[in-house]
Structure 1
């Protein structure tokens, strides 16, 4: 399948339904959305496949604060392609480190991120308990801690 990845233009509305797949709290998504650059992955007939957001956090460091693939397209390698694009974009924009975080219960994502060159760099214990009003359950595990990963560029 042919696809393109492009920046969301200023006159377009971000795909909130897709962003909420990765982060179920709309208030939190809105808190970082305006400070982020939004990238859309679309099929050749302009069907939305996926999205990711890059947010500069410190000098020379940028974070993927949200990444999601439409349920219809999951399990087909598009997440890996989005991560690869994010890495290339971060490098080309002069960043030295790309970070990403996910829940302790996000088993598939933890595997994917490590397969794509990220290494675990820390744990923010109790992050989801402190920042989300409703408990999050995934894979039969309560999501409590934020697992932080990073990828450094030479």
Structure 2
């Protein structure tokens, strides 16, 4: 089911504003987002001129990490997230990264499914990450988000 065959994924220039509303779908803390954006590259997916997806990629010591990935709510479930993950994998390989990391909440059931289908494997759990780093409780799928599940993909 590919309703968006002509998606263009491009890197934002430093002068362009990242799509904050989309980034907030994946990370509800504007403060956290503002901390990691300056040292990372932002890539956006556009369809007919509209921004429908985003991911944020960092590289440190040969390890790339997707710090944020989100798809516009009305466009979810149509393969865009998978395409963003594929693009991030290609970009990480171009940067000569040895592996690609991504983290998500214990309550993010759809994301955990997608990431594992895309070749990522669970490698660690950061206990109480969301309790310690976010001021308000986060609930998703009827589950409180407490722990960060870390996954990685060898490149």
* TM class, shorter-length: over 0.9
Q: Counterparts in 2 of 1:39-54, with a 5 A limit?
A: 39-43=43-47, 45-54=48-57
The 3-state SS of whatever aligns with 1:102 is: strand
Residue aligning to 2:87: 85
Measured after TM superposition, the shift of residue 68 of structure 1 is: 0.2
- 1:120-140 residue CA offsets vs partner (Å, 9 max, x unmatched): 010000000000000000011
Residue aligning to 1:148: 150
Residue aligning to 1:74: 76
Say whether residues 1:112 and 2:114 are aligned partners.
yes
Residue aligning to 1:33: 37
Q: Structure 1: give runs of 5+ residues left out of the alignment.
A: none
The 3-state SS of whatever aligns with 2:66 is: strand
Measured after TM superposition, the shift of residue 92 of structure 1 is: 1.3
Residue aligning to 1:122: 124
Residue aligning to 1:132: 134
Residue aligning to 2:8: 4
The 3-state SS of whatever aligns with 2:123 is: strand
The 3-state SS of whatever aligns with 2:39 is: coil
CA RMSD of aligned residues (A): 0.7
Runs of 4+, deviation exceeding 3 Å: none
Residue aligning to 2:104: 102
Measured after TM superposition, the shift of residue 72 of structure 1 is: 1.5
Aligned length: 151
- 1:85-113 residue CA offsets vs partner (Å, 9 max, x unmatched): 00011011100110000000000000000
